[in-house]
Chains A and B, each alone.
Chain A
Amino acid sequence: MKLLLSFDSTTVKKPIISKVTLESGALINILRASVGARKGEIIIEVPEEKVEIVEKILKSEGVFVSELKKAVEKNEERCVHCGACISVCPTEAIKRDAENKVVVEEKLCIHCGACVTSCPTQALNLPSI
């Protein structure tokens, strides 16, 4: 499951991810991070069975946690279903459906952004974190 963590000026300074990894024993994958001096946001991927404990530890540290369901966002008005984005996606999250429309399989998207710059019609955007 993908979790969106929001840090404030106090929590941002602490080595919280390391702490969570050590205490929960969960293999955490950092997908995206935007961390500044006063606040930060990080998207992590956590194995389903560890979500509960990871969330608990994070919250006890004062981190705001929410589940991230959204994948990269596709503007259907601009997308022409060419498929230029398909082969650049590392997780094969972008596919053609039976009608030859290009679709993103949300749960496979790791928010890497590779498809965003490859789209000629600027139809793709990472949801702001």
Chain B
Amino acid sequence: MKTVQEINRKILDGNVCVVTVKKMKEIVEELGTEKAAREVDVVTTATFGAMCSSGVFFNFGHADPPIKFRKVWLNDVEAYAGIAAVDAYLGATKLSESNEKYGGAHVIEDLVRGKEVELRAIGYGTDCYPRKEIKTEISLEDVNQAIMVNPRNAYQRYNAATNSSDRLLKTYMGTLLPNFGNVTFAGTGEISPLNNDPEFRTIGIGTRIFLCGAKGYIVGEGTQHSPPYATLMVKGNLKEMKAEYMRAAFFSGYAPTLFVGIGVPIPVLDEDVAKATSIRNSQIETKILDFGVARRNRPVVRWVTYEELVSGKVEINGQEVRTSSLSSFYMAEKIMNDLKKLIEKGEFLLSEPIEKLPKVQEVKPMRQREVVVVKKVMNPAITIRSDTKIEEAAKIIIEKNINHLPVVDDDQKLVGIVTSWDIARAVALELEGSVNKIMTKNVITVYPEDPIEIAASKMERYKISALPVIDTKKRVLGIVTSEDLSRLIAR
């Protein structure tokens, strides 16, 4: 048994034994937990990944005459100003209003790199804050405070992603190739802080951490905290941070975000702590979700261990699929080593948590008014057979005043679609014969239980105005048109 105070004394005396958690796993394997706990005082853990829930609180100081921000922008990226007069919170994922690949994260990195950014604000013009607008340049040195406060960082583990659809997807999980073309995953697995202290014995409120090169602190559990998918809320002084331990990023087709480097020292108080730090990737499981399905409850393709994810290949439906990590193992290892050196030099002392993180917490879905599904808005479809004459189809379209005719076979199964445009074109070209010749065979469809938003986004993506609604056997149940939807969805 050791206490944090005893370990800190050793740090100050210069005879502390610090190892990275990577090394610790070898030591435990070799010496067993008891001996490892006696030999090792501190284990360093780390993660380095894109963490969207990150941002910075600023206090810019007062202008003359003073202003109370109504809105404020830094390099054209809006920060939240609904707090005191010249305070604002700049979020990492907020997009610039003039540069589509620049966002809050880039402003943060630019400031840390010593660059000046443009501050532009508008005010209310009150008796105490008469000024109505201001434009100026600021650097990190000029502001009173720049405090990074990240509501959700350091996910213990994270769901991996793949894509069953036939379309390349650009997501916050990176580029997902069609037809299960790849798998992307986040988190550093067995070296990640929270996986090495799943009982939250040493990691808690008040724990001193390494945050982007500065000393930071754990504020508490992060948003969406739900062990074993635990998260941390952290803070640190941006003015002390170093650009090499953070990186502004832009996920193509999604948003800007910030790569954040976090190191957490774990004091080896006893054998149980030592045992917890010996966890291996093979013991850390997560799900691979199918992003091809644009719903909240994305189907679980399979469970997987971090060992498989890290190996570079996982098996899906009997096929080998290559994986991509979105977190940097190289940077995480660098942070573990750098933190180890700081502790050895006596420049970084450990702190005891003053309160524990909650061990049980669930993540609830959003309370919504009502999810309107396609079934509720679809209309009965008038269908034709593929041997229907073009003329006949034209007649139906005019008589029924519709624009789309799904084409079905004897079992009511969808084989194509004919639109009024196809007919007009056929008539103009004086084509004769059956609709078989002119129908579109590759039909975009929806299911009756799909939310109408899915139908709307398909129409938008494929630039079409109606979708046949089918069951799993491809039988036509109805049709939904953009007119049906536009009444319900504000676009």
Contact = CB atoms under 8 A, between A and B. Distances in A.
Interface string B276-293: 000000000000000000
A80 B331 contact: yes
A24 interface: no
Interface in B1-56: 48-50
B251 A81 contact: no
B104 to A, nearest CB: 15
Interface in A40-82: 78, 80-82
A117 interface: yes
B175 interface: yes
A114 B247 CA distance: 22
Given A80-B331, A81-B328, A121-B259, A88 B177 contact: yes
Q: Is the interface of B mostly helix, strand, loop or mixed?
A: strand
A100 B48 CA distance: 13
Contact of B322 (A87, A101, A114): A87
The bracket for how many chain B residues form the interface is 20 to 34
A51 to B, nearest CB: 31
Contacts of B322: 86-87, 92
Contacts of A29: none
Contacts of B183: 87
Nearest to B101: A122
B175 A80 contact: no
A85 B326 CA distance: 9
Give the one of A78, A85, A88, A102 with max B CB within 10 A.
A88
Q: Which of A82, A92, A96, A122 is packed against the most chain B CB atoms within 10 Å?
A: A82
Contacts of A102: 330
A118 interface: yes
B257 interface: yes
20 contacts: A78-B247, A80-B48, A80-B247, A80-B259, A81-B328, A81-B329, A82-B326, A83-B325, A84-B175, A84-B325, A88-B177, A100-B329, A102-B330, A117-B170, A117-B252, A120-B50, A120-B174, A121-B259, A122-B101, A122-B249
Closest 7 CB pairs of A and B: A87-B182, A120-B249, A81-B330, A87-B324, A118-B175, A87-B322, A83-B325
